[in-house]
Amino acid sequence: MSRSNDVQAPDEGRRLRLVYDGDCPICRRYVRWQRIRRDVGELKLIDGRQDSEARHELSDRGIDLDQGFALQVGDRWYHGSEALHRLSLLGTRSGVFNRLMYRLFASPRRAARLYPWLKACRNGLLRLCRIPPIDNLRR
């Protein structure tokens, strides 16, 4: 399997940020359990419901956080299934959760097929819990 350079090589100046829904119980658990390889760098977690430079940047780019979380690697943003795929490649293979995430989402095609189901579960849970959308594209 070939990986792009922005996922393989360590780089001290590389920016790694994950913007996720901090009110979503599934999203909070996912970011708490996800582990990134040390050689990749440190992943900064950002709650997409909070005002931040990353949220503004994503909104300016038209990236809807209600449609999925966003991962920045270097200068590039990934969204939804592509972000989940990239995150699985950056992750460690230690622990049941991280091994499972790698097996499920290391394939971009599989990630693209499974992501709509994950998003539907998240949206259903948010409705049940009466948690409003992030709505970052509305100004």
Are 128 and 51 within 8 A, CB to CB?
no
Q: In terms of DSSP H, where are the helices of the chain?
A: 5-8, 25-33, 53-60, 81-90, 96-105, 108-128
- What pLDDT was estimated at residue 52? 96
| Tens of pLDDT, residue by residue, the chain (139 residues) | 334 444 444 444 578 999 999 999 999 999 888 888 878 888 999 999 999 999 999 999 999 999 999 999 999 999 999 999 999 999 888 889 989 999 999 999 999 999 999 999 999 999 999 999 999 998 6
According to DSSP, residue 133 is labeled P
CA distance linking residue 111 with residue 106, whole number of Å: 7
Give pLDDT, residue 15: 86
Sorted by where each begins, the domain ranges of the chain are: 14-128
Rounded-to-integer distance, Cα 76 and Cα 133, Å: 25
Alpha-carbon torsion, ordered 109, 98, 45, 15, to 10 deg: -70
What pLDDT, on a 0 to 100 scale, did the predictor assign at position 14?
A: 75
| 42 three-state secondary structure | coil
* pTM, rounded to two decimals: 0.84
pLDDT value at residue 13: 53
The residue whose two tokens read 């943003």 is: 77
